[in-house]
Chains A and B, each alone.
Chain A
Amino acid sequence: MTELHHTAIHAVINNSSPQLSWNPFEDLATLFHFEFMVHAFQAGTIIAIVAGAIGYFVVLRGSAFAAHALSHIGFAGATGAVVIGLSPIAGLLAFTLGAGVAIGALGSRLRGRDVTIGIVLAWTLGLGVLFISLYRGYATEAYAILFGEILGISTSDVAVTLAAGVITLIAVGALYRPLLFSSVDEDLAAAKGVPVTALSIAFMAILAVAVTEAVQVVGVLLIFALVVTPAAIAVRFTSRPAIAIATGIGLALTFTWLGLAIAFYSPHPVSFFITSLAFATYVAVRIAEPLKTRMRRTTANATA
């Protein structure tokens, strides 16, 4: 991200937050008047689609912690890359891919897998801290990696995100049925000839790419909000895989778009709004669910 973008962001955030008018179309026009907002919406849209789609499999496979850990392990890669003068995204991708393949090879049934992942995660975060201290004047970059900086995305960043997004979606589509099969019953899938270990590694590699993309929006610390929360909400509404994926994508898009729009008219960061929208929706669904079941039961009793 360039200095110019930073100036633009700070101008918007600190001094002259645009005021909401009573005309929503005019407000939207104002919003898209800024190039950095257009880029943010473009990248945010691509990432929300990828995160929503892959999130269903993360939830189905019980890999939420692995997804979370991938992004944290990536933090060391990103900060390390900056120390040796490379792009943080390249370092992030290298570390998440490496960790993803390793976690995938461990297999989902290994007892204590989460403990192993957690131990590696803590160590790599320690490495990240070291790398930050080695690179002076690095606070802004570190902050962007930790919490996301979608308002600083350039045209070429959008192009890279689009390419990565398309590749991720094609890969998920290609693995769709065997991935679903092995997520539901690994023994059965293996007996039917599905290469379950190779599939587990491939899935974690795809997840690593998706996580690297999503870090641009919400940062490594807040990755759950885009990769896990939308899918976790979706599976409470439907148990049809295709509809759950579509719902997850829809929710991820809603959180991202609304979060961006609200942040544009407020002095607070985008990540806060995206994560809060995701959290509030999840809480609302969890509260509404038992009420709905109770109501259905009451109606059933009344008719019986």
Chain B
Amino acid sequence: MTDHPAIAARELSATYGSRAVWTGATFEIPSGSFTAILGPNGSGKSTLVRMVLGLLSAAEGDLEVLGKPPHRGNPSIGYVPQGSHFDPELSIRGRDFVGLGVDGHRWGMRITDRANQETKVAKAIASVDAKQYADRQLGRLSGGEQQRLLLAQALVGMPQLLLLDEPLSHLDVRNQQAMVQLISDVARERHLTVLLIAHDVNPLLPHIDHVLYVAQGRLAMGKPNEIITSESLSRIYSSPVEVLKDSRGRVFVVGLEEEVSHPHD
């Protein structure tokens, strides 16, 4: 285990054009932890992920990713972008797609080291239980199958940090639970740090260590049972926020969604 946190932010601010998305974010994501990033649409959750990926620079403040400043193409990060579901006509196999996670950024054609590459791909596919359909056309697979192959692609480069931008959005409840279980198992086995953006915290609750709330221009981090309460969210955002529980123990946050709408990034 490393002694530095997976992600450390100090007084970090993000801007979209000339407008501030969020400001003054200070938090630390411990190495090997599972964190859910929650918050209304357009609050700047993907902005944070893009910053960690090195695709966007901070307007102010410091950000360290695995002990270093963020940089594009960081091989220690496995990433699943938002809204990744493929065109049904997209003519490529799941296996080829996972293979691009190994060397898709390299110039030229794959000539040498094929056997090694194929072994890595096969291992990644096996680790997400996708062997059965990995040789079928990616666009024709179900949402759940595509998400598993996207995860395999993120895992194939042996990363230390997983950034998953809404991997559950296009799945039904059962698939959501299966997917979270899979992510959690793989992460524990490989000591990965996971940051997962979600809309609904409920399928995540049994697995996550921390919640990072992004709303109304501010970020707040804490343990799920400490931060997802009416008192704490109302205090953080200085406006009345209610956390409701239904008979099955599911939680619902009311009062943060009235966000001034930002263009969705």
Contact A189 B92 (CB under 8 A): no
Contact with A along B218-243 (1 / 0, CB 8 A): 00000000000000000000000000
Contacts of B153 in A (CB 8 A): 188
Chain B, interface residues (CB within 8 Å), range: 20 to 34
Given A180-B104, A188-B81, A239 and B93 touching (CB < 8 A)? yes
Contacts of B110 in A (CB 8 A): 177
Task: Tell whether B55 is near chain A: CB-to-CB under 8 Å.
Answer: yes
Q: How far is the CB of A56 from chain B (nearest CB, A)?
A: 8
Contact A191 B91 (CB under 8 A): no
Task: Tell whether B256 is near chain A: CB-to-CB under 8 Å.
Answer: no
Which positions in A face B, CB cutoff 8 Å?
A: 59-60, 62, 173-178, 180-181, 184-185, 187-194, 235, 238-241, 244
Q: How far is the CB of A285 from chain B (nearest CB, A)?
A: 13
Contact with A along B52-74 (1 / 0, CB 8 A): 01010000000000000000110
Contact B92 A178 (CB under 8 A): no
Q: Looking at the complex, which one of B55, B77, B84 makes contact with A185 (CB distance below 8 Å)?
A: B84
Binds A, one of B8-16, B17-25, B95-103, B187-195: B95-103
Q: How far is the CA of A92 from the CA of B63 in the complex (A)?
A: 50
Contacts of A238 in B (CB 8 A): 91
Provide the main secondary structure of the chain B interface: loop
Contact B81 A191 (CB under 8 A): yes
Contact B72 A184 (CB under 8 A): no
Task: Tell whether B108 is near chain A: CB-to-CB under 8 Å.
Answer: yes
Contact A189 B104 (CB under 8 A): yes
**When A and B form their complex, what is the total count of cross-chain residue pairs whose Cβ atoms lie within 8 Å?**
89
Contact A192 B90 (CB under 8 A): no
Contact B91 A60 (CB under 8 A): yes
Contact A185 B105 (CB under 8 A): no
Provide the main secondary structure of the chain A interface: helix
Known contacts A178-B105, A240-B96; can you find 20 more A-B pairs with CB under 8 A?
A: A60-B92, A173-B108, A177-B105, A177-B107, A180-B100, A180-B104, A185-B86, A185-B97, A188-B80, A189-B105, A190-B55, A190-B72, A191-B79, A192-B79, A192-B104, A192-B105, A193-B72, A235-B89, A238-B91, A241-B96
Q: Looking at the complex, which one of A173, A192, A241 makes contact with B92 (CB distance below 8 Å)?
A: A241
Q: Looking at the complex, which one of A175, A184, A240 makes contact with B100 (CB distance below 8 Å)?
A: A184
Which residue of A is nearest B163, CB measured? A191
Contact B91 A239 (CB under 8 A): yes
Which residue of B is nearest A172, CB measured? B109
Q: How far is the CA of A256 from the CA of B110 in the complex (A)?
A: 30
Task: Tell whether B138 is near chain A: CB-to-CB under 8 Å.
Answer: yes
Most buried by A among B90, B97, B101: B90
Contacts of B101 in A (CB 8 A): 192
Q: How far is the CA of A120 from the CA of B263 in the complex (A)?
A: 29
Q: How far is the CA of A180 from the CA of B53 in the complex (A)?
A: 21
Contact B105 A175 (CB under 8 A): no
Task: Tell whether B264 is near chain A: CB-to-CB under 8 Å.
Answer: no
Contacts of B82 in A (CB 8 A): 187
Q: How far is the CB of B203 from chain A (nearest CB, A)?
A: 24
The 6 A-B residue pairs with the shortest CB-CB distance, nearest first, are A193-B73, A181-B104, A235-B91, A187-B81, A239-B137, A192-B105
Contact B79 A188 (CB under 8 A): yes
Q: How far is the CB of B100 from chain A (nearest CB, A)?
A: 5
- What are 8 A-B pairs with beta-carbon distances under 8 A? A62-B87, A184-B90, A191-B77, A192-B79, A192-B101, A192-B104, A235-B91, A240-B93
Most buried by B among A187, A194, A244: A187
Q: How far is the CB of B133 from chain A (nearest CB, A)?
A: 12
Q: How far is the CA of A162 from the CA of B181 in the complex (A)?
A: 56
Using a CB-CB cutoff of 8 Å, which residues 101-154 of chain B contact chain A?
101, 103-110, 136-138, 153
Q: How far is the CB of A273 from chain B (nearest CB, A)?
A: 27
Most buried by B among A59, A62, A176: A176
Contact A59 B81 (CB under 8 A): no
